Amino acid sequence: MDIPAGLKYTKDHEWVKIEGNSMTLGITEFAAKELGDIVFVEVDTVGDEVASGDVFGTIEAVKTVSDLFMPVSGTIDEFNEALEDSPESINESPYDTWLVKASIEDGADMGELLDADAYKAVIGL
């Protein structure tokens, strides 16, 4: 299973790429495999400030619907609209398929983010 070293991770199986005060977020390969065939992604929080730990959207697979949690407080700037037509791209390439881009609040707490080795321990690798 691929766990890229240059990303940060959450215990909720999301990956985060931080560049300055912006964040790109997706779900991990582990999450994509656990969910199975992804059929829909809903994010109705574009433009909203979302606190760390709050739900910013949902991801639906054939058998389940899961909440998406904001890993770091910030404002959702953009939703990956390509997912409206091809949500299965998450299953095909989870680290190349982002869900949202967000602006991170100055001084936002990033203490809950995990490096690749810590995330591997969470999923038992």
CA distance 55 to 45: 9
End-to-end C-alpha distance for the chain, whole angstroms: 9
The percentage of residues in the chain with a pLDDT greater than 90, rounded to a whole number, is 90
Say which residue the tokens 């606190």 belong to. Answer: 51
Q: Tokens in use for 85?
A: 């037509």
Is the confidence at residue 106, as pLDDT, over 80? no
Confidence of residue 1 (pLDDT cuts 50, 70, 90): confident
Mean pLDDT for the stretch of residues 21-49: 96
Sheet bearing 55-61, strands edge to edge: 38-42, 55-61, 65-69
Instruction: Give 65-116 as a DSSP string.
Output: EEEEE-SS-EEEEEE-THHHH-TTHHHH-TTT---EEEEEPTT---TT-B-H
pTM of the model: 0.92
**What CATH number matches the domain at 12-106, 2.40.50.100, 3.90.280.10, 3.40.470.10, 1.10.10.410?**
2.40.50.100
